[in-house]
Structure 1
Amino acid sequence: MQRIAIVSEHASPLAALGGVDSGGQNLYVAHVARELARLGHYIDIFTRSDNPALPQQMNWHENIRIIHVPAGPPVFLPKESLLPYMEEFGEFMQSYVCRNNIRYDIIHANFFMSALAAMPLARNSNTPLAVTFHALGKVRRLHQAQNDHFSDQRFSIEEEIVRIADCIVAECPQDREDLIALYDADPARIRMVPCGYDPAELAPLDKQLAREPLHWDPEAFYILQLGRMVARKGIDNVIRAVGSLRNEHHVDARLCVVGGNLSDTQLGDFDEYDRLKSIAREEHVDDIVEFTGSKARGELSRYYGASDVFVTTPWYEPFGITPLEAMGCNRPVIGSNTGGIKYSVLDGKTGFLVPPKDSEALAIKLALLANNPFLAEKMGRAGAARARKMFTWRQVSTQLSDIFRELDYQHTPQYSPSAFTRLSLTN
């Protein structure tokens, strides 16, 4: 039994999923904390307060507290704007520990800014520091280019974190390779633990029964895209593929896009929504592309279950949790041959991998599944077996728990007292 501090500066487990800055990391923190608590550990989650009405401390689940850290104004801020407040975040953590006479056995920082904020506490209390980056700045810049609004300062901060952390948790083989090749990470201090899904939350449903409340055509071939509405997710690529699927392959296909806040025209989600609607009109498929906006977690099984295939073709995806969820719901997955997707999806067995930004290649694979329902069903069953065997949150957290126990037992500090002060928090 350990006392564990989970640090997630911008991604609160309480946040509604589907917004520009709320997605996989929020889900990861929430599920990992719950499963670690079920294993008997005591968990404190430190996340930035973005609402003045939030209590500074709250009991969330048994053995789990959420501490809302006052760092910067208590309003929503894009994560790219939070770096100047990380020193304040770290100072609060140290004072909180001192006031409450707490001694953590392990600190698990999620994202580079969380690690930056946690370093002084780890150093001063001689506590092992494990870091899950969830995304690496150098990889993001490679794929996002001018759309990456983080300062170049992120690169040197990540390099220092990689050098001093007791353990780096890579989420897939590509993540591990990038840490070694781009950050000169010590392979001996990298442990690979994937993301997961909850089989109690997302389970197979009868397709026709799932379609009835959605009023979906029982005979049509339905494609599901689910996730945040940001350009890098490649939803435009899926829309173009649907146009090709209908016009060139003559498949009665429909596309459902779940995700994004479509009720507030001031948000970036709405700009992307307008762009995607325009592309659907250009492809003459606007009448068969449905944008639902974000849906509650309890509704997602119905959408996965009602679809014939799940598609996700981002050009950049550090891991990607939605393919696991679709696999857990017995659905074949067609995904980009990139990041964690090429690890979770077995090409030709649980679905297909296609190049990003290649709508024709995607349309060909979609047509193959549309014309061969037996193959689609076989791939769906294989995906479900793989998801249950390798990717449940319980398995993920058990692996993390083993790593944390080992770190606590073997811990020797990897950094000097001046490590944190060498990192400037200003541009």
Structure 2
Amino acid sequence: MKIAMISEHASPLALAGGVDSGGQNIYVANVARQLHRAGHEVDVFTRRDRSLLPLVSEMDGIRIINVPAGPPRQLAKERLLPYMDEFADFLVSFFRNERRPYDLIHANFFMSGKVALQVKRALNLPVVMTFHALGRVRRIHQGNDDGFPDERFAIEDDLVRHSDVVIAECPQDEIDLIDLYDADPERIEIVPCGFDVDELQPVARREARATLGWPQDEFIVLQLGRLVQRKGIDNVIRGIGALKRDHGVAARLYIVGGNSESPNEIATPEIARLRGIAVQEQVAAQTTFVGRRGRSHLSLFYSAADVFVTTPWYEPFGITPVEAMACGTPVIGADVGGIRYSVRDGATGWLVPPRDPAALAARLAHLHANPARARQMGEAGLARAQSEFTWEGVARSLEHVYRRVARLPQPRERDEAIAARSARSAAGGAFG
């Protein structure tokens, strides 16, 4: 197949960890990479956000088309909607000039979906839609802090009605699509996010800590991801404070993420707020901001921790719990969205209410007192990640969806058809 992926604000070339660089960037990069490895031709269309970017870049055999839409500089995703008509006009022209036509479009995020529907109407191409986050769910949880206009809701309604298939990343995502958008369950497919088995695997804890320069004999809690308020990192810090006050455990917390490799409060203002909370909770000496780190180092961080914690207010899927499980580390996650799906409560870790530091502290205290239980949970998480959440499996599931919407034979049907043609050809040669 020839597949066009649209990801207007989340380029697969961007470093994850910034305010607008996270799960979607990782998703698009890995799905495209796996589809290419499976023999498909994949182009990713993303907005040009730097003036020196060429029109076409390349990543592991995948073309990245840096679409000239809006000013060639970084803009918050909340400011990009006015440029989507320009983005769509470019794609229609680009698609028409390609020697080999595209079989389908896979749009990521609602603005990419808006573009995809305009291309669909111009060129009659099927559209697969992954929202990554739903506007109505975001508004429920963020209220006035949601920077997107109400226009988003009508765009999403249109996408739910007119996309050929909508990908839900977890059961809660499917429920939200049906309850809040009146989506047709027959046109929803659940396909989760994943991890790269070549990138993330367990490292012996003592080795990982020695490499990172972390203390060997302390109870270490890891928080890793984008440093934005909805991720609930303040709750993790307060949980570390409650762990110390109520359970007598002085855990060490490492926070990885931000807009720069050094923990810079100017580049990442959220660090200043979080440091203030650590001071209030009297755990500033136990809390270390690491800064952003490249993906090649993430196995070390996940493996070095006794437990990975993530307690966002809401989370459409959440890749980091899966990544932690892939490294054999137990996870304590908020009982919301995709985390409720990826973390098996009591088996691979625990689910706790968001914004509940006392509940988080109680679970941390139990793991501190029961290292054998923590190891069992880590082993169960590793098995679950490897069986349910690899990017290869994700891409294979998407490939089946793509073939159906593009009205192409599935791999088994294709192989059977090739075998039948070969048999007919052989028979003709024998008897002709």
Aligned partner of residue 379 in structure 2, secondary structure:
helix
Aligned partner of residue 409 in structure 1, secondary structure:
coil
Aligned pair partner of 1:227 in 201, 204, 225: 225
Question: Any gaps of 5 or more consecutive residues in structure 2?
Answer: 410-432
Question: What corresponds to 1:424 in structure 2?
Answer: none
Q: RMSD in angstroms over aligned alpha carbons?
A: 1.2
> Equivalences for 1:250-265 in 2 at 5 Å?
250-261=248-259, 265=265
Question: What corresponds to 2:288 in structure 1?
Answer: 290
Aligned partner of residue 55 in structure 1, secondary structure:
coil
> Equivalences for 1:9-408 in 2 at 5 Å?
9-62=8-61, 64-261=62-259, 265-267=265-267, 269-270=268-269, 272-408=270-406
- Cα distance in 2 for partners of 1:92, 1:60 equals 21
- Cα distance in 2 for partners of 1:121, 1:55 equals 23
**Counterpart code for 1:161:** L
Specify which structure has the bigger relative contact order, considering alpha-carbon pairs within 8 angstroms and separated by 6 or more residues: 1
Question: What corresponds to 1:425 in structure 2?
Answer: none
- The offset of 1:176, in angstroms, is 0.2
Aligned partner of residue 311 in structure 1, secondary structure:
strand
- Cα distance in 1 for partners of 2:406, 2:296 equals 37
Answer yes or no: is the 8 Å Cα contact 2:203–2:303 preserved in 1.
yes
User: 1:257-301: CA deviations, max 9, x gaps?
Assistant: 00012555544x22x111100010111110010000100111111
- The offset of 1:146, in angstroms, is 1.3
- Cα distance in 1 for partners of 2:349, 2:128 equals 33
- Cα distance in 2 for partners of 1:266, 1:220 equals 31
- Cα distance in 2 for partners of 1:101, 1:125 equals 15
- The offset of 1:102, in angstroms, is 4.0
**Counterpart code for 2:41:** Y
Q: After the TM superposition, list the runs of 4 or more consecutive aligned residues in structure 1 that deviate by more than 6 angstroms.
A: none
**Counterpart code for 2:304:** A
- The offset of 1:100, in angstroms, is 2.6
Change (3 A) 1:266 1:274: closer
Indicate the structure with greater helix content. 2
Answer yes or no: is the 8 Å Cα contact 2:250–2:286 preserved in 1.
no
- Cα distance in 2 for partners of 1:373, 1:207 equals 13
Change (3 A) 1:10 1:59: same
- The offset of 1:127, in angstroms, is 1.1
- The offset of 1:159, in angstroms, is 0.3
- Cα distance in 2 for partners of 1:93, 1:108 equals 13
**Counterpart code for 1:275:** R
- The offset of 1:101, in angstroms, is 3.7
**Counterpart code for 1:355:** P
- The offset of 1:52, in angstroms, is 1.1
**Counterpart code for 2:9:** H
Aligned partner of residue 121 in structure 1, secondary structure:
helix
- The offset of 1:16, in angstroms, is 1.2
Answer yes or no: is the 8 Å Cα contact 2:92–2:123 preserved in 1.
no
- Cα distance in 1 for partners of 2:161, 2:144 equals 28
- The offset of 1:29, in angstroms, is 0.3
User: 1:115-169: CA deviations, max 9, x gaps?
Assistant: 1011122122221100000000000000011110000000011001100000000
- The offset of 1:306, in angstroms, is 0.6
Aligned partner of residue 388 in structure 1, secondary structure:
helix
- Cα distance in 2 for partners of 1:57, 1:159 equals 32
**TM-score (norm: length of structure 1):** 0.94
Answer yes or no: is the 8 Å Cα contact 2:265–2:272 preserved in 1.
no
Aligned partner of residue 43 in structure 2, secondary structure:
strand
User: 1:305-333: CA deviations, max 9, x gaps?
Assistant: 11000000000111000000000000000
User: 1:228-250: CA deviations, max 9, x gaps?
Assistant: 00011111101111111122211
Tell me the number of residue pairs that the alignment of Structure 1 and Structure 2 aligns. 407
Question: Any gaps of 5 or more consecutive residues in structure 1?
Answer: 412-427
**Counterpart code for 2:193:** C
- Higher alpha-carbon deviation: 196-205 or 338-347: 196-205
- Cα distance in 2 for partners of 1:351, 1:147 equals 31
2:8 matched to 1:6?
no
Larger Rg: 2
